[in-house]
Amino acid sequence: MVTTTDRIDIAALAIAVADTISAHAEELTALDQAIGDGDHGLNMKRGFEAVRAELPALAGKPLPDTLKAVGTKLVMTVGGASGPLFGTLFMTLGKELPADPDRADFVAALGKAVDAVAARGKSQAGQKTMLDVLYPVQQALAGGRSAREIADVADAAAEATRPIKAMRGRASFLGDRSIGHVDAGARSTALIVRAIAETLERGA
Ligand code: ADP
Ligand code: MG
């Protein structure tokens, strides 16, 4: 697992995330069609492809500045409810991380970033949203789990949204009919976490 920023290739991470989001756009759309309005796959693909296109302009910038720029780009391009929330996540990471963070810095910054998403969404764990993946991932990182274990935690946490009744976002309009479907934002969050974890594990 990563300890210092000189071992982080942020461009490689962003490319891995854009690749997986684009490859799974139809799956994310199908999840959002079941209990939302069916735009989540396209929203996320548009946002992370915009981040990919921005990478040459971000080359050589300090990690915090790059993360803030990624968050801003996501707010501008993803749209929907999830755009401001993913934007908040990355902007807060950029705000909280020092230029040369160690693992403890990542744990602390991710804690602040997830809390910022919850504040922005007026939401909490257990309401069938992306937070149901973000909190377990933050805890797994804090608990010293490996990148591979964290990716597995994220996948299991996304799947665990299936029996929950949605209390936030469009899916909440369905009440009990939201039960039995995986939350689209939880699934996209798990895809992002796995892409980052696997890229870090390969030593990028
Ligand atoms: P929209 O719901 O506006 O169509 P998206 O489809 O892009 O936006 O994103 C939906 C996802 O956003 C949901 O699956 C859920 O994970 C997340 N979400 C929606 N509202 C909230 C909220 N208040 N707090 C946390 N996450 C939320
Ligand atoms: Mg939607």
Q: What CATH code is carried by the domain that includes residue 70?
A: 1.25.40.340
Instruction: Choose the residue to mutate in 82, 89, 124, 192 for probing ligand 1, maximizing ligand atoms within 8 Å of C-beta.
Output: 82
Average pLDDT over the chain reads: 95
Q: Tell me, what's the pLDDT at 2?
A: 47
Closest ligand 1 atom to 31 CA = 14
Residue with tokens 């798990």: 190
Identity of residue 122 = K
Phi and psi at 183, nearest 5°, equal -70, 130
Number of H helices, E strands in the chain: 9, 0
pLDDT tens-digit series, residues 161-191:
999 999 999 999 999 999 999 999 999 999 9
Cβ-based neighbours of 5, under 8 Å, separated by 6 or more: 63, 99, 100, 101
User: What span, in angstroms and rounded, lies between the C-alpha atoms of 166 and 128?
Assistant: 5
CA dihedral 94, 97, 103, 107 (to 10 degrees): -80
Residue 170 beta carbon below 6 angstroms from any ligand 1 atom: yes
The stretches in the chain having pLDDT less than 70 are 1-7, 204
137 C-alpha to center of ligand 1: Å? 18
Q: Provide the domain count of the chain.
A: 1
* Cα gap 115→186, rounded to integer Å: 16
pLDDT of residue 7: 56
- Ligand 1 in reach of 185 Cβ (< 6 A): yes
Closest CA to 20 of 134, 161, 145, 187: 187
Per-residue confidence (pLDDT) for residue 204, from 0 to 100: 59
- Helix pair 82-96, 63-77: axis angle to 10 deg: 170
Range of the domain at 78: 5-201
